Amino acid sequence: MSNELLWNKFLENVKSSVNSMVYSTWFSKTYLLSINNNKATIVVPLDIHKNRLSTIYHDLITSILTKITGNIYELEFILEQEIKNNQETVNVIDNSINVSEHKFKHESNLNPKYTFDTFIVGNSNKLAHAAALAVAESPGLTYNPLFIYGNSGLGKTHLMQSIGNYIQQNSNKRVLYVTSEQFISDFSGIARKDSIKENSEYNYVEYFKDKYRNIDVLIIDDIQFLAGATQTQQEFFHTFNSLHQDKKQIIISSDRSPNDLKLLEDRLRTRFCWGLTVDIYPPDLELRINILKKKIEGNKIVKDIPDDVLEYIASNMTSDVRQLEGAINRLLAYSTIMGGAEINLSLAVDALREFINKGTSEKTNISKVQKVVADFFQISVDDLKGKKRSSSVAFPRQIAMFLSRDVLNESYQRIGLEFGGRDHSTVMHSCEKIESDIKSTKSIRETVEKIKNNLS
C-alpha cells in the first residue's frame, strides 16, 4: 500500500473517531512522508500541530495505524519547512511585505502577553477557543468573519489578540488590532497629527485606507460602540467588503450578539453573521479556580495560597475574570501589609470582605432575578426552572427570562440553561412576548417596573 493510500485510509478512520472541528483543525493538513518497521514520519504545517498531535492525539494516531497495518510505530512529526528547504526561500520572498508599498509604519497594537498558552479553557469558552485556534491556523479561509460576543471581562480581547499574535509568529501576514473608538478616531482625522507628518506627500484618506485595507487580518474590539456613528459605519462597511473580498481575515468582538446590535445598520449586522458567531459565558467554578492558579503561576507568586482560599475567591467572584485577578492582588497586598502574614482562609475573608460585598451587592445575576420574580408572584424558584406550564408559573417565568435579557443582557442560550435547560428559541419567544405585552398592556408594564425596582 502506498503512503498516500495508507494516509487516506488513516484519515477516514480519524474522521469517524473525532468531531469535524478537531479533524479540520489538527488532521486535515497532515500527510505521511515515510513509514518503515518502527517509525512513521508525519508532516504537519505548524509547531502547534507537532505539540498537539504528539501529546493529546498520540494514542489515537498509534492505535489507528496499528489497526490498519498491524504494526506499532514510533511517531515522528516534522514541519513542511524542514523538508522543503529549497522552496522555503521562495515562499518567504512571495509572502514578505514590500515595505515600499506602504507609506506609514505598521503597528499591530497587539499585547504580546495575550497568547493561547495563557488563555484558560473551560466549558464557558471552549467553542470560542476552538474557533479562534482554527482561524489562527487558516486566516481568511476558516470562519470569516469570526464574531465573538459576551459580557465584559470574560476574555474576548485576550482570545482575539491571541489569534493575532499566533498569526504574526507563524507567518508574514500583517495584523492590525484596534478598538472601535480608535477606528472612529482615525476616520474622523483626530489621530492625523500623531500618524502623519505635516509635510507628508499623501493625504489622510490615503493614510486611512493604507492602514485598514493593506493588511491581512483586522481585529476590531467592542464593535457596539459604532452605534450612532453613521458615517463611520458606512466606512467600516466598505472596509469590511474590501477585506472580505480579498479573503483577508476579519475578527470582531461585541458585548452582545449581531442580532442585538439594533443601532447598527442591517447590512453590517448581516455581514457579521457570514462566518461564525460564538459567545463566551461567565466562567464556572472549576474554570475560575483554574484561572486563579494560572494567574498565580504566571506572576511567579512565591506565597503559597491554599486550595480552600482559591475556592473561596472563585465562589464569590462569579462573573468577571478581572475580579479574580483583582482579588488575588488585594489578598497579596493585604498579607504584605500585615507583616507577611500567612495566607489562609481567615486572612482571605478579612482581606476581601469589602471587595466581595461590593461585588455581590452591586452585581445582579440571573439567580437574583429568579428569586425576586419568584417572591413577587409568591412561587418558588424551582417552579420557574421546572416544567409546569400553568399560567400562574408560565407568566412569571416569561417575565424572569425577559428581565434576564433586558436588565442583564444575558444571551438566550445562557438564560435557557439557567431556566432548566430550555432551548434558546423558547427564551427568545418569551422575551418577545413580554416586550410586546409591556407596550400594549399597562398592568403588565407596571408589574415589570415594580419588579425592576425590587431588583435595584
Cell of residue 215, nine digits: 493588511
Q: Are residues 421 and 450 in the same domain?
A: yes
258-267: long-range contacts, CB 8 A cutoff, minimum separation 24: 258/147, 258/149, 260/409, 261/223, 261/224, 261/227, 263/227, 263/228, 264/223, 264/224, 264/226, 264/227, 264/233, 265/233, 265/234, 265/237, 267/237
Q: Answer whether residue 91 is part of any domain.
A: no
Q: Are residues 113 and 261 in the same domain?
A: yes
Least confident of 117-126, 153-162, 300-309: 300-309
Helix (H, G, I), strand (E, B) or coil at 406: helix
Q: Domain count of the chain?
A: 4
pLDDT, tens digit, 9 for 90 and up, residues 36-89: 868 889 998 887 888 889 888 898 998 898 888 888 888 998 887 776 654 443
Least confident of 80-94, 97-111, 116-130, 289-303: 80-94
Residue 135 pLDDT grade (very low, low, confident, very high; cuts 50, 70, 90): very high
**Looking at per-residue confidence, does 128 or 317 come out higher?**
128
**Helical H segments across 138-265, by residue range:** 156-170, 180-188, 192-195, 204-213, 230-245
In the predicted model, what is the mean pLDDT of residues 168-175?
A: 90
As beta bridge partners, residue 42 has 32, 77
Q: Are residues 58 and 155 in the same domain?
A: no
User: What are the two backbone dihedrals, phi and then psi, of residue 41, each rounded to the nearest 5 degrees?
Assistant: -105, 120
Global pTM reads 0.55
- Burial call 233-253: b when 16+ CB within 10 Å, e when fewer: bebbeebbeebbeeebbbbbb
**Helical H segments across 201-304, by residue range:** 204-213, 230-245, 266-272, 285-298
In the predicted model, what is the mean pLDDT of residues 21-25?
A: 82
Q: Are residues 123 and 271 in the same domain?
A: yes
Q: Are residues 200 and 243 in the same domain?
A: yes
Which pLDDT does position 364 carry in this prediction? 57
CATH number at 258 reads 3.40.50.300
- From 359, 358, 351, 352, select the one nearest 321 (Cα to Cα): 359
Q: What is the mean pLDDT of the chain?
A: 82
Q: Answer whether residue 442 is part of any domain.
A: yes
Most distant CA atoms of the chain, gap in Å: 81
- Burial call 389-409: b when 16+ CB within 10 Å, e when fewer: eeeebebbbbbbbbbbbbbbe
Q: Are residues 157 and 273 in the same domain?
A: yes
Q: Are residues 76 and 118 in the same domain?
A: no
CATH number at 447 reads 1.10.1750.10
Cell of residue 6, nine digits: 495508507
Of 85, 108, 141, the residue that ends a domain is 85
In the predicted structure, residue 191 carries a pLDDT above the cut 50: no
In the predicted structure, residue 100 carries a pLDDT above the cut 70: no
Which pLDDT does position 46 carry in this prediction? 82
Residue 428's domain comprises 366-455
Residue 208 pLDDT grade (very low, low, confident, very high; cuts 50, 70, 90): confident
Which pLDDT does position 302 carry in this prediction? 55
